[in-house]
Amino acid sequence: MANLQMTAAQWERLIGEELAGGILAPMRELEELYDKFTRERTQVVILNLNGNLTALTLRGARRGVNCSIGYELWVRFTANGGNWDVEFFRAAGAGGGDLVASVTNLADGGTDDLDEENASGWEGSLTLGAAVVAVADDLFKVLVVLDYPARLPLIWTQADQIEQDKFMRQRAAAAYSAVATSLLNGIGELRALADFWGVGVARDMPVARGNAFNRVEETVLVEDRENEDGQGNVVRSIRGLLAAMTVNMQDEGTGGEQDVVRRVIAASAATFDASNTGKGSVASHTPLEKTPIGRWTWQCDDGSDTGALGRETFSGSFVATDGSGITVTFSGLQVEKDYDGPRGFGTIRLRRTYAKTGDGSNLHLAAVTTGIFVGENDQNTNAGVLYWEVQANGGNWDYAFYSDAGRTRLVAQATNIATGAAFTATPFGTTGITVVWTAGSAPVDGTQGTISCQPFVTSRSADGQPDRFYIDTSLTGTAGLIQKLLADRFDGYLNSDASGSETIEDAWMTGGTFPPFVTADN
Amino acid sequence: MAIRLWIRQDKTSKGALEEPKAVAIDATTAPGPGELVDVDAATPAEARRVLKLARLKEAPDRKKDRETWNLWDDARDRVRPVARTDVEG
């Protein structure tokens, strides 16, 4: 709880002018240029402010063929009853021979795929604005921006039987890569500038700007440290200037709460391989705003087949699917323990899925839930299986759990349990296993069955591969661009709010740089 | 000291109302529709707690829970309406 009692103007100068405008803006510009020399995107700029198109994706650009030499398209919007026809032309004047793509009879706000015209080769889709206006002149233009690697096969095509084309494609690709590498040096310089601004010192500057404003003495912008609590739970502590600044932004009482535009990430429930031996679940969750977008893959590296029943552990890797290029590896997720992952992922918990036999209607024992076993291992179960028996005790019931099918090795028991009542079967002797369950709706004396925790293995019976599961992180809505850059390149984030309610606009970072693409990538 | 809160009407991605947000102490508008109130508190977090107490749907039972009633009564004195922000900013 800080409340620095700074005005909104003071915060805007710090985060807007200085961080976003002086450091993140050039960094973002170099990131975009790096992508331009390494990727194969087709990006789009709309040169009109009437809002007729809110989304436009294009594939198949060929300058001089399906767009102008300057990669331009002219777009017309014509009323069709209460809907709209949209036509794309490769030249001004809307000549019939210049029609290259169209959408017919689409309502305001609607989305549709483009129809190719005159064998132009265009593919794509568009979404109309909420209140489209007719355009019957050449004042609605679209610029197509093709990344340089995507241009190579279109320039040196060998279609004209020019022998040097193959060599030019190879040499140009190498040159583009060299340019991209040099851009990384520039990005590194700006990262160092960010560190100096936030936490650096100089001979006559004993306190950095960021530290001074926030009245802290941090040594790094971001620190994200993993700690294991001795019980198998993995927790993380996030420190550094950005963390301190986030709290100060929240607690500002004079200028009001300060925030950038949000970047909301959703993490799916886990998907498990069908051929897994072990069974479990991981619920969906909302990770931190700095979490990257992509697939988190987990595989068992210490299982019941390697003597770790009860504490099976997983390691994993993450690969980004949004073009950010982020990859991460991690380990230490233990079954039925909390896990905080790197880069803001988590908290998740891998829950067991139990399987019961001998009681299909849940008369003797309640339906299986989570958390039935506590303290299970190789000695007090039979590869994760317990053998249960219910016995009458006056008007109530005794529940006994054995680790062998012959029911000679009692490991846990609960006595005098009422019908339908919850119980905890405590360890018998020093077995160490507890069973937390509920009596069934109509137990019958002498009934027997099994309960298995279906433990995870490093070599599953189907194919010898480790048990595996996946979680996908995805973006909800659109991302604040300052928040996105901080997440991708700094593993950090600031206090945030919904677009329109932020106090530090993305425009501090995007203004005066490259024109805004319809779909913001950087 | 006073903290000026914007009681918002927009919702989070999960459908819940956004928490009241501290705005500039001299603000007369907000980024969206809602209400501006001043709360006597040291920090925005404290101001939100006081506001929540002051705006309970039912008054605490003064006889059964005198302590909570006192806190509620005090909270009501610490919250002062400023303006409505019915026009989106």
| Whole-complex ipTM | 0.85
Nearest CA in chain A to B39: A253
A2 vs B contacts (CB less than 8 Å): 43
* Chain A / chain B CB contacts < 8 angstroms: 58
What's the first-to-final CA gap in chain A, in angstroms? Answer: 33
Please determine, for residue B89, whether its predicted confidence score (pLDDT) is greater than 70.
no
- Bridge partners of A424? A436
Q: Which of A253, A264, A501 has its CB closest to that of B22? A: A253
- CA dist., res. A357 & res. A450, Å (int): 5
Q: Which of B13, B27, B43 sits opposite A253 (nearest CB)?
A: B43
Q: Do B24 and A476 touch (CB under 8 A)?
A: no
* Mean pLDDT value across chain A: 96
Question: Chain B partners of A256 at a C-beta cutoff of 8 Å?
Answer: 4, 21-25, 27
pLDDT tens-place string over residues A450-467: 999 999 999 998 899 999
Nearest to A254 among B10, B25, B31 (CB): B25
pLDDT for A162 equals 86
Residue A302, φ and ψ in degrees, nearest 5:
-155, 105
Question: Is residue A183 pLDDT above 90, yes or no?
Answer: yes
% of chain A surpassing 70 pLDDT: 100
**Chain B residues closer than 8 Å to A501 by CB:** 8, 10, 18, 21, 31-32
Q: Does B24 contact A497 at a Cβ distance shorter than 8 Å?
A: no
Q: Is A420 helix (H, G, I), strand (E, B) or coil?
A: coil
Residue of B nearest to A250 (CA): B44
Put simply, the answer to whether A253 touches B42 (Cβ < 8 Å) is yes
Strand-strand pairing, A260-261 and A496-497: parallel
CA–CA gap between residue A202 and residue B54 (Å, rounded): 50
Q: Do B22 and A500 touch (CB under 8 A)?
A: no
Contacts of B45 in chain A (CB under 8 A): 1, 250-251
Mean pLDDT of A59-82: 97
Q: Closest to A256 (Cβ–Cβ): which among B10, B13, B23?
A: B23
Report the C-alpha gap between A27 and A32 in whole angstroms: 9
A102-111, A201-210, A353-362: range with lowest mean pLDDT:
A201-210
Alpha-carbon gap, residue A240 to A219, rounded angstroms: 7
The answer on pLDDT for A390 being more than 70 is yes
In this prediction, residue A379 carries a pLDDT of 96
β-bridge pairing A468-476 and A373-374: unpaired
pLDDT tens sequence across B55-66: 999 999 999 999
- Is any Cβ of chain B less than 8 angstroms from the Cβ of A264? yes
- Where would I find the beta strands (DSSP E) of A37-151? 42-47, 53-59, 72-80, 83-89, 99-106, 111-113, 115-116, 123-128, 141-146
Q: The pTM is what?
A: 0.90
Nearest residue in A to B10, CA atom: A498
Residue with tokens 């005790």: A393
* Residue range A42-55, pLDDT digits in tens: 999 999 999 999 99
**For A227-244, what is each residue's pLDDT tens digit?**
988 899 999 999 999 999
Position A1 confidence tier, pLDDT thresholds 50, 70, 90: low
The pLDDT of residue B87: 56
Of A2, A252, A501, nearest to B32 by CB-CB distance is A501
Q: What residues have CB less than 8 Å from B64, skipping those under 6 apart?
A: none
Measured in angstroms, the CA of A7 and the nearest CA of chain B are apart by 7
Cβ contact, residue pair A500, B31, below 8 Å: yes
